[in-house]
Amino acid sequence: MRLNPWVGITAIATLAFLYLPMLAVAVLSFNKTRYGLQWSGFTWDWYVRLLNNPDILEATRNTFVLALVSTVIATVLGTLFAIALERYPWPRRSQGFLENLLYLPVVTPDIIFAVALVVAFGAFRMVSSLFEPGLFTMILGHVTFQIAFVALTVRSRLKSLGHDLDEAARDLYASYGYFVRHVLLPLLTPGIVAGAMLAFTLSLDDFVISFFTSGPTSQTLPLLIYASVRRGVTPEIHALSTLIFLITVLLVLASERLTRR
């Protein structure tokens, strides 16, 4: 059977549509021209400047601290949640309900989540000054949306393992702890790592939740880019965007490889 050549052409056009803007940004990040789109020669200059800009370095540090801490918390909680959801003998009806609760954060618009967090932190602030907008509230905010992604990834891995191995381990004199350490965790590791990487990327790229929960001292890269772009797009921003895009691509590829195994 011959496939209509338009099918292939459409696919390529779609890919171009998706990636040309990014490619343009990457090309412009090496352009000597400060303003406008004229090509006036290749330079690493903008990248060098990035490294000498204290605001950007500060934002980078914040971004990675936020991403790392929130990912660690979300990975632990998400994994435990997935195991509980999948293995605890829930009554059938509440199992379905819990599953829906798990999916909900994935499809809820970020802005709704962000507003809800603002309201919640506002209420908590009356109890403790810990909830003043800043890195701490951002971490909490990120954890809330990351958990669902980690739990979903780990859960699909758990589902594919089935219950046989649990029973085999019990039959072979293993305590639950021994089973978790020697069977469950080693087999779940690819799922856990993939979930963690996904969570990390999401945190790295997040703008909406960060925007609503950040304080004056907790500028992250997405927030910084947003603020700079309002003043006009500069080649430094192109360079920064290109770097973030590269990191994201690498993380997604790595997580993809791990889940496929």
Q: What is the spatial distance between Cα 70 and Cα 62, in angstroms, rounded to a whole number?
A: 12
CB of 153 to another protein, least distance (A): 18
Q: For another protein, which stretch binds (CB under 8 A), given 141-149, 161-169, 219-227, 230-238? A: 161-169
Q: Does 158 bind another protein (CB under 8 A)?
A: no
> Of 28-36, 40-48, 160-168, 205-213, which segment contacts another protein by CB under 8 A?
160-168
Q: Is 255 exposed, middle or buried (0-12, 13-18, 19+ CB in 10 A)?
A: buried
Of these, 165, 227, 246, 253, which contacts another protein (CB under 8 A)? 165
For another protein, the binding residues in 84-143 under the rule CB under 8 A are: none
Rounded to a whole number of angstroms, the minimum distance from the CB of residue 257 to another protein is 17
Interacting positions 177-196 with another protein (CB under 8 A): 178, 182-183, 186-187
Contacts of 211 (CB under 8 A, 6+ apart): 114, 223, 226
What CA–CA distance (Å, rounded) separates 169 from 159?
A: 17
**Please, what is the minimum distance in Å from the beta carbon of residue 20 to another protein?**
43
The site that binds another protein (CB under 8 A) totals a number of residues, namely 16
| Ordered DSSP codes for 66-129 | HHHHHHHHHHHHHHHHHHHHHHS---HHHHHHHHHHHHHHHHS-HHHHHHHHHHHHHHHHTT-G
Rounded to 5 degrees, what are φ and ψ at 31?
A: -85, 135
Q: Choose, by CB under 8 A, the member of 93, 173, 216, 231 that binds another protein.
A: 173
Q: Which residues pair with 42 in a beta bridge?
A: 31
Binding mask 23-62 for another protein (x = CB under 8 A): ----------------------------------------
Q: Write out the residues near another protein by the rule CB under 8 A.
A: 164-165, 167-175, 178, 182-183, 186-187
